[in-house]
A = this chain, B = another copy of it.
Amino acid sequence: MKKQTVSSTVTIAYIGGGSLNWAARLMGDLAYDRTLPAEVRLYDLDTVAARRNAKIGSLLSEASDAAVTYTVADSLQAALTDADFVVISILPGSLDDMDADIRIPERYGIAQSVGDTVGPGGFVRAMRAIPMLAEIGEEIRAHAPKAYVCNLTNPMSALTGALYAAFPDIRAWGECHEVTKLRHIVAWLANRRVGGIVHSFRDVEVNVLGINHFTFVDKAVVGGVNYLPAYLDFAREKREEGWRAAPIDPANEFQRHFEDHNKVKFDLACRFGIAAAAGDRHLAEFLPQSWYLDRHEAFGFGLTPVDFRRREQAEKRRRAKAMEAGDALPPVVQSEEALVGQFKALAGGPAHVSNVNLPNRGQVEGMPLGVVVETNARFSGLGVQPLFAGRLPAGLEMVVRQHAERQTALVAAVLEKRRNDLLPLFLSDPLVSPIGPDNARDMFGEMVEATGHLLPRALGGKL
C-alpha cells in the first residue's frame, strides 16, 4: 500500500537543536518515514552541536532519500519566523545542576529516583526553566503565533503551563512517551491470549488520565476487547515478584539504572484498581518516600545516577562527532515517539491520536480547569483536540490534583515573581513535607543557592 504523502514542505523550528537525544530521534523518524517533506531549522545556544546535528540529519536524509533538509538558525527569531512547527527540547541547567538537585535533598534524607518532575529536584528545576519557556512562548507569539508547538522539556507539566501562561493562544502540547511502557505490557498480554506475536504496542488504545509521569489508564483496548481486567489480574499475580518481558542484561549499564520490574506499577494497580502508566522510577516520586523510594531496591528500581548520565552524555557526543566526521550512520529505524505522526496529521495526513499534556478544559473531570493534564488528544487538520477522558478514583484524584495545583501555583508564582510564595509551595510537596518546615527551609535555601546562576534575582538568584 502506498504511503500517503503530505504534499507541501513544512518548516520545523527546533529549539535546542544541538540535543543529543530528542533531535537524533526526530531526525531518524523523519528519515524513516519519508512522507513528510520538511525544512528543519536547528537553533541552539551551542552552535557547534547544532551544526553537528545538521550535518548528521542531512546525511540521514540522503541515505534514506527523504525530502528533509537541515539548516542552522542564527537566532531564535530566525528559527521561528514562518515556522509551521516548533519543537522545544532544551536543558534547564547542566548535569552539575541536576547533581545538586539530587545531592542536596539526599543530605536531608530525601531519595529521588529521577528528580526532574516533582519533589525538591523537580521544583527547583521548574524554577529555573519556567522563565526560559515563558521567554520562548513570547517569541512564538511574536514570530510564529500560528505554529504548532511541541514541548519535550521536563518538568513537562510546569513547562507546558509556562508556555500557555506566557501566550494563552499558543498551539502547544507537551509530548512524553512514558505511557508506551504500559501499552507494551498490554500488547504482551493480548499476544499471550492469542498465542502469537500479533499485536504491537501500537495496536493498544489506552484511555489516559492524570498528569505527566503520573498517568493512569482505565481502559486498554486491543481489537475491541478491553484488557484492563486482564491487566489487573496480572498485576495481582505478579505484584510480589515483579515481571519483565525480557530479563535485564547485566552488562547493560543503562538498563541496570533505568529499567524496572513493574513492581510499583503492579502495586499501584492493586491499591487503586486502575493501571499506572509510566516508568516505576517516575511513579514513585509522586508519593511519600515510605511508599516506594525508601525500599527502592526491594521494588526493583534505582535512583538517578548522575555519574552515569555524565558518561553517557560524553559517549553520545563522541558518537555524534564521529558521525559528523564520516563514520557510518546507524541503521534508520522507527522510534516509539509519536512526533512525526502528529506533525503529519496536523499537516493534512491521516488523523492521529496520542496522549499529550494540555491545560485542562474539562478533559479530566474533577481536576481544576487550567492545570496541565495528560490525556489523549486527536491530531488532524482541525488541530490538537483533547478527548474527554473521565475521572480518576477518589483517593488517587486527591494525590494527583495536589501535584497539579502545586505545579500551576509554582508557574504563577515564578512568572509573577512572588518569591514569598515559593517556600510554602515547596513545603507542600509530599517528599518535602515530612522533613518538617525548618529543614525544608534550609534545604530550599541551599538548592536555590546552588542553582542561583540560572535563577532571576527576584526569586533569589543572580540573573
Residues of A within 8 A of B (CB): 6-7, 205-207, 219, 221, 223-226, 267, 271-273, 287-291, 294, 347-349, 351, 353, 360-363, 365, 369, 376, 378, 380-383, 385-389, 393-396, 398-399, 401-402, 405-406, 409, 412-413, 418, 420-421, 423-428, 430, 433-437
Contacts and interface: CB of A to CB of B under 8 A. Distances in A.
A361 B365 contact: yes
Nearest to A294: B436
Given A205-B380, A351-B353, A385-B389, 18 more contacts: A207-B385, A219-B382, A219-B383, A221-B380, A221-B381, A224-B349, A225-B381, A287-B433, A290-B433, A361-B388, A385-B387, A386-B388, A394-B412, A394-B421, A395-B424, A395-B426, A398-B424, A434-B434
9 tightest Cβ-Cβ pairs between the two chains A and B: A224-B348, A362-B362, A395-B424, A221-B381, A290-B436, A385-B387, A398-B428, A361-B362, A394-B421
Q: Binding site of A, secondary structure by majority: helix, strand, loop or mixed?
A: mixed
A348 B223 CA distance: 5
Contacts of A224: 6-7, 347-349, 381
Contacts of A385: 207, 376, 387-389
A108 to B, nearest CB: 12
10 contacts: A205-B381, A219-B382, A221-B348, A221-B381, A221-B382, A288-B434, A362-B362, A395-B425, A398-B402, A398-B405
Contact of A433 (B267, B288, B381, B436): B288
- Copies of the protein in its oligomer: 4
Contacts of A418: 394
Nearest to A422: B395
Contact of A398 (B361, B425, B434): B425
B427 A395 contact: yes
A353 B352 CA distance: 12
A394 B425 contact: yes
A295 to B, nearest CB: 9
B271 A382 contact: no
A290 B435 contact: yes
